[in-house]
Structure 1
Amino acid sequence: MTVVDLSKVRPYGDTLNDGIVQLSLTLPVPFGDEAQEAARLWALASGFQDPKVVHAQDLGENFSFFVLYARSTISVNFKDIKVLKLSHERLDKPEIEERIRTLLGRRLIVIGACIESDAHTVGIDAIMNMKGYNGHKGLESYHEIQAVNLGAQVACEELIAKALELSADALLISQVVTQKSLHVKNLTRMVELLELEGLRERFLLVAGGPRITYEFAKELGYDAGFGPGTYAEDVASFVLEQVLAEQERKGGR
């Protein structure tokens, strides 16, 4: 059995610790031999060794796409890596329903939306819609949860107004579009508006999307963040745990 030195971890290609990586990139240059050489030289200038273009494609309009193999001498100390993670208990759908009935004593109210300019609902639909995703039913299928999906391009003000109208427990904010860090701008605006209105502590605020991590969401002022591979029960478990904890702090049931 091969023993890996976790204090010096490097990429694996053909053999352990050979540092081989696969790179993909687009250059704003016309397709041809010069373009391939430009991709190779870029990889060299970036610190990679022995770069080789293994695929090249003309994207049209003087843009070219490349896939390269190269070697890196950089290693990382895996032992020193610490990642901020959610530590809540993950329940399945029947357990969530039972705890809402017996411990909360009312329906959990959750509102979701893709805010501002984001028109991509695939993420919020996977969590909210009845059919869910990959065999995991969405929050609309939970009898003990009132799940309201406002859809795409919802202004932050509109989402907040709806949350107040329904006395929501949690706001689920989906951001799929990440070009030019647009998701950061939109997510930040939601937090700033809630704080301006003195409502930040009124709702649980949860972010989700392909570029969202728990640590990143916390940095932006959210209570939690969920990335790829998240299902409705992951979100519901977290929201319920937090709502029950708040209820206990206030001396509820």
Structure 2
Amino acid sequence: MNTPAGPPPAVRPYGDTTDDGMVQLSFTLPLPHGPLAEAAALRLARLMGMERPLLVHARPVGEEFAFFVVYGAVVHRVDLDTVDVVEREYPLLSAQEVDESVHEGLGRELVVVGACIGTDAHTVGIDAILNIKGFAGQKGLEYYHSMRVVNLGAQVAVADLVRRAVSERADAVLVSQAVTQRDAHLTNVRELSAELDAAFTGRRRPLLVVGGPRFDPAMAAELGADRVFGRGTTPDDVASYLAHALAGERAAAAADDRSAV
């Protein structure tokens, strides 16, 4: 019986033939559309490592900008041994399994406070995870018998979210960020993490779970978050993580109790 071959040690994009490196790139330049802008677009593509770039689409965007689509072969390869992937280290649980795990661990409801912070008004993400109607055929966290959900909605100041987390005695704080101009999503999360640390000094800080399409899951430690979810996250991903993290905290607390004896 033939054994499937593993992935190659390094890869390039695929267009017409394997390993030809062909990619399509789109971008906007702050130049009026014309010969100079088109030449600049091709020059930029070459500087980015594209061989024989072709300008396949160009159009003005107002009077002072131009939009381009360039097609060509990149010279770069990706060494797969250097790629870091955040693997899910916990199983996906059913709603019943999550409820059983939380009730066994806490003996009460797990309190989740969620919001879109700063100027972010895009509630689709946070509502998909928290609201009972859910997302992708899965019920949101409001559906779980083991959880009490407080959804603060959009454009919530960091200080207000922290105060509510304290007053509600939150076990977890969930934040969704879609607005990313000037890395506002990263700045907001770092500020929230710092304020949670200050507000919960001397006691257990709520889990900080962050999600949004522009987040890198590998950035959790850098942002001061416990978990970062990216595109395609569903309610059962988040619910299973909360149950998993709670179990981990129980085990750590038990180990501390044993060492103190």
- Give the alignment's TM-score, normalised by structure 1: 0.91
Q: Is 2:174 aligned against 1:172? A: yes
Q: Is 2:247 aligned against 1:244? A: yes
Q: Is 2:8 aligned against 1:6? A: yes
Deviation sequence 1:60-104 (CA, Å, 0-9, x none): 131111111011111121134232333122112232123333443
- Residue among 203, 206, 209 paired with 1:206: 209
- Aligned amino acid, residue 148 of structure 1: V
Range that drifts further, 38-47 or 12-21: 38-47
Give the RMSD, CA atoms, in angstroms. 2.2
Q: Which residue does 2:49 correspond to in 1?
A: 47
Query: For the Cα contact (< 8 Å) 2:60–2:67, is it kept in 1?
Result: yes
Corresponding residue SS for 1:6: coil
Structure 1 alignment gaps of length 5 or more: none
- Residue among 134, 151, 154 paired with 1:149: 151
Corresponding residue SS for 2:15: coil
Deviation sequence 1:184-231 (CA, Å, 0-9, x none): 111110111122334484211111111223211222111111011111
- Aligned amino acid, residue 215 of structure 2: I
Range that drifts further, 13-22 or 127-136: 127-136
Q: Which residue does 1:60 correspond to in 2?
A: 62
- Give the alignment's TM-score, normalised by structure 2: 0.88
1:106 Cα deviation from its structure 2 partner = 1.4
Alignment of 1:5-154 (within 5 A): 6-154=8-156
Corresponding residue SS for 1:233: helix
- Aligned amino acid, residue 35 of structure 2: D
Structure 2 alignment gaps of length 5 or more: none
Deviation sequence 1:20-54 (CA, Å, 0-9, x none): 11100001111233322221122123331111111
Distance (Å, rounded) in 2 between the aligned partners of 1:115 and 1:51: 41
Rate the CA distance shift 1:147–1:71 in 2: closer, same or farther, 3 A.
same
Query: For the Cα contact (< 8 Å) 2:102–2:246, is it kept in 1?
Result: no
- Aligned amino acid, residue 164 of structure 1: V
- Aligned amino acid, residue 221 of structure 2: K
Corresponding residue SS for 2:78: coil
